[in-house]
Homo-oligomer: A and B are copies of this chain.
Amino acid sequence: MIERIVESLKKLELFFGIDENFLIEFAKKARIETHEAKEIVRRRSEKCEELLFLVEGEAVGLFTNSEGRVLQIDHMVAPKLLASAVVFSDDPKYPVDVETLKKSVFLSIDRDIFVSCLMKNERFLRNYLKYVSDAFLFITDRFYEIAMKNLVQKVCSYVLKLSEEQRSDLVVMDMSKEELSREFGVTRPALSRVFLELEKMGIIEAHGRKIKIKNGRYMKDHAQLYD
């Protein structure tokens, strides 16, 4: 098991340039947790005195409230370090609910053990600082998108981002409309209406998860990409 975990962790940017023996020692100090699909692994506002790694499987980070509203903040595929930008606070809490999509294996490292490893290895420390900065940028960009963009802009930004990644005007969506509506914080019918509207206007052509961009100019004007 340790070998499989080390192989998985190695792929994380956090461990780039880190000696394999350091990594093995690190993994040995951790606790392993296995969860079935659709389990809630951690809840927002729970105390967070650990570093949590998703080493196998797939999970999402969610905001939920008592009225049943669900907003998907992040979609995480192993290997991935989760919500670990908060551990140095005096009152560290999980910022999101963590829920598995598939059967998943997690690795939990006690905060104090992590900190002592961090202070012993400057490369590891710099990797962690970079991880935290990137996590901060990610969350503020998600916040901006949810709070400041309307649904047409969100769809245009999303499709254009895929088009850039896939280097094509014919893109394949990396999630279902169901999941996408959770990402955007809207209902499924509202999302479908926007897709239909964009098709009627001749901006896109949609077949299931495949989308053809027909008017890239319009999409760029509406995406308001800030980068």
Chain A residues close to B by CB (< 8 Å)? 44-45, 63-66, 69, 71, 85-93, 95-96, 119, 122, 125-126, 129-130, 132-137, 139-144, 146-149, 185, 224, 226-227
Contacts and interface: CB of A to CB of B under 8 A. Distances in A.
A65 B142 CA distance: 14
Given A95-B136, A136-B135, A136-B136, A148 B224 contact: no
B45 A140 contact: no
Contact of A148 (B71, B90, B133): B71
B136 A85 contact: yes
Contact of A132 (B64, B66, B88): B88
A185 B147 contact: yes
B148 A63 contact: yes
A69 B148 contact: yes
A45 B226 CA distance: 6
Contacts of A149: 65
Contacts of A86: 133, 136-137
Contacts of A148: 63-65, 69, 71
Closest 8 CB pairs of A and B: A95-B140, A89-B133, A88-B133, A88-B129, A45-B226, A85-B136, A143-B143, A65-B148
B224 A66 contact: yes
A183 to B, nearest CB: 12
Nearest to A225: B45
29 contacts: A44-B144, A45-B227, A63-B143, A63-B144, A63-B147, A63-B148, A65-B224, A71-B147, A71-B148, A85-B132, A85-B136, A86-B137, A88-B129, A88-B130, A88-B133, A89-B133, A89-B136, A91-B137, A92-B133, A92-B137, A95-B140, A95-B141, A95-B144, A119-B122, A125-B125, A132-B132, A146-B147, A147-B147, A147-B185
